[in-house]
Amino acid sequence: MLEHLRSRWTKVMAPIARALLSAHVTPDMVTWAGTIGVVAVSLICFPHGWLWQGVLLLLVFIFSDSLDGIMARSSGRSSDWGAFLDSTLDRIADGAVMGGLALYYVDAGNNAWWAGLAIVTLVLGQVTSYTKARGESLGYEVNGGLAGRADRLLVSLLGAMLTGLGLDWGLPVCLVVLTVAGVITVAQRMTLVRHATTVARGRAAGESQA
């Protein structure tokens, strides 16, 4: 749902990207720095109950998440390695955010049920990304779905912010929304790949009979 905002955001971040390149900062450096920052903030702030503080710090890193890609494209350094590194570290960062929220309910939040649901949303988020990667590795285009990565981050951080500001229901409601949306998104992508494989199999059968 938020993917269409990427082009506008790119225009905003382009001057920052150019400045970093001028300072001899590479796209890979930005990728690593952003991931390390997200992991550190998520696993330090959230388990201690510093929810709204953690969200504000994470926004700094998350808003710069597209910087490495913009830098790579503008400098002509786009590569398969860069794309692979970015995608891999994104999974680590996403896992740290949801893992940190799960630990919040283990420690400061003291609620095993919500901790468990946070783990469920973590798994669904990882599976959502895997369905896209695996489908595309088989040669099929796997786009769309109810909740992409940007949507999941927005909802999870919104919930953490609300609960951190005293609205205890904020994070639990968002976890329920993420769980339902995650199930739907995985089902949508599985259906998409299933349809694509059926069409490809029918086409191949028709060609063999011709």
Active site residues per annotation = 90
46: nearest Cα among 89, 95, 87: 95
DSSP code of residue 5: G
- Please, is 91 exposed, middle or buried when counting C-beta atoms within 10 Å of its C-beta (0-12, 13-18, 19+)? middle
Q: How many residues does the chain have?
A: 210
Helices (H), 23-111: 27-45, 51-63, 67-75, 80-106
- Dihedral of the alpha carbons of 181, 183, 185, 190, in degrees to the nearest 10: -170
Q: Which two tokens stand for residue 139?
A: 């040669």
